[in-house]
Chain A
Amino acid sequence: MDFLSDHQPEMLPGKRQLPPVQGVIEAPHGTTIVAVTFPGGVVLAGDRRATMGNVIAQRDIEKVFPADEYSAVGIAGTAGLAVEMVKLFQLELEHFEKVEGAQLSLEGKANRLSTMIRSNLGMAMQGLAVVPLFAGYDVDRGRGRIFSYDVTGGRSEEHNFAATGSGSIFARGAMKKFFHDGLTEAEATMLVVQALYDAADDDSATGGPDVARRIYPIVTVITEDGFRRLGEDESSEIARSILERRLEQPDGPRAALL
């Protein structure tokens, strides 16, 4: 943001002087984010756990945010920095929209986020990485799209599904087996919660649905009608139905062998 960097550069992430530090700084880290496209839109979801070393720093952290009307960003990595980055990203999209009177293209938004991640490279080298997943509905092309990033700001478009964070390997494996082309919105939301469940199953840093405390994954859907976050009743319904099935089949649905 040019105006901010001219006037108050210290407010921008990545513009701060870093003290030399030995070793890794302990700060809460967010864990798993998953996204999947379906005809007509895209679903982005995240678990609710933040960890600090071996400690659960927060049980009910929110890691999926609307970026604007037609896009959302889910964050993995250092929670404090990531939340600030998202806040600045939201601000920038809104500012552009108000000043120019038009929205940025989805590609433009994804590129902008890429620059912001790159500006955090210094911090990332000290163990404070931010690795988001960006999903949105491309109004011009009429479909949902997903972009994933690496710590250096490298951006790549993902097709069908993507995951980021510590549990992403397990979530990706699950999604690979569950995904097919003609998913409905309801199936897509079910799919992401299944994938998060599998991630939580094998990754200690990812939190599963917490029935006792009523903490369920955050699931958001972006379609032609814009961004929508599933209410607690909807996400709890999905999580509970999965939980019930898993009492019989702890490893989840079986895919056909051939």
Chain B
Amino acid sequence: MSTPFYVSPQQAMADRAEYARKGIARGRSLVVLQYADGIVFVGENPSRALHKFSEIYDRIGFAAAGKYNEYENLRIGGVRYADLRGYTYDRDDVTARGLANVYAQTLGTIFSSAAEKPYEVELVVAEVGETPEGDQIYRLPHDGSIVDEHGSVAVGGNAEQISSYLDQRHQDGMSLAEALKLAVQALSRDTNGSEREIPAERLEVAVLDRTRPQQRKFKRIVGRQLGRLLETGGATTEAESAEEE
């Protein structure tokens, strides 16, 4: 009879974390930024059908990096949770905090259960408030912890580099065009520091816009509107730099 090798719990957890981190790092990064009128999600996504961002509920959006089938599973679970809660109680009773807690429980259970492989996903759950102070952004890494973020957050491939770039440049009260411009700049920086161009067709952009009159604040920005925003974002920065000169 063969005896299984002893693996210390520390080692086992470290191996699992390593596995999940590598899986997430293979995917492209995405960023979530606060701007004056809400929260904007920006990511590079060559597919138009398979979304990285989606609506969960009235004020709540979802962003995920990593393995598609795993985060899609979590996304649908989140929509179910939110819809069921909203139907049972009231639409106001669905909160990002509650949802983030459910995700954290799910991810944590899967991560520490020896029978399953850990999910290779990193999630962002964001809720837009009545005012910028009311905005909430939660980042949920693969192991089921929750990080309460402010201003900007990046997940996926070279998230660390991108978030440090964003932290230095992100300001409160940016316009949508400015925030979008900053996000694209951050995403187009490669690991080795060189920049590459991301064409508008490869960008996936969505916003939670608190000024939207509808109850559901989530909106995808596509096509001409995206092009226009990218242009105005560029124009203002150019105008500013011209003034500086």
Contact = CB atoms under 8 A, between A and B. Distances in A.
Answer yes or no: are A and B bound together in one complex.
yes
Contact of B80 (A3, A11, A101): A3
Nearest to B76: A99
A11 B55 CA distance: 24
Interface stretch (A72-80, A86-94, A113-121, A207-215): A86-94
B88 to A, nearest CB: 7
B54 A91 contact: no
B84 interface: yes
A11 B88 contact: yes
A3 B79 CA distance: 12
A11 B51 contact: no
B56 A98 contact: yes
A15 interface: no
A7 B87 CA distance: 14
Contacts of B83: 91, 94-95, 98
Contacts of B54: 98, 101
Interface residues of B, number: 14
B87 A91 contact: yes
Contact of A11 (B49, B76, B79, B87): B87
Contacts of B55: 98
A17 B244 CA distance: 75
A88 B84 contact: no
Contacts of A101: 49, 51, 54
A255 interface: no
A11 B56 CA distance: 21
B217 to A, nearest CB: 13
Contacts of A55: none
Given A95-B79, A98-B56, 5 more contacts: A11-B87, A88-B87, A91-B87, A94-B216, A98-B83
11 contacts: A11-B88, A87-B87, A91-B83, A94-B83, A94-B216, A95-B79, A95-B80, A95-B83, A98-B54, A98-B56, A101-B49
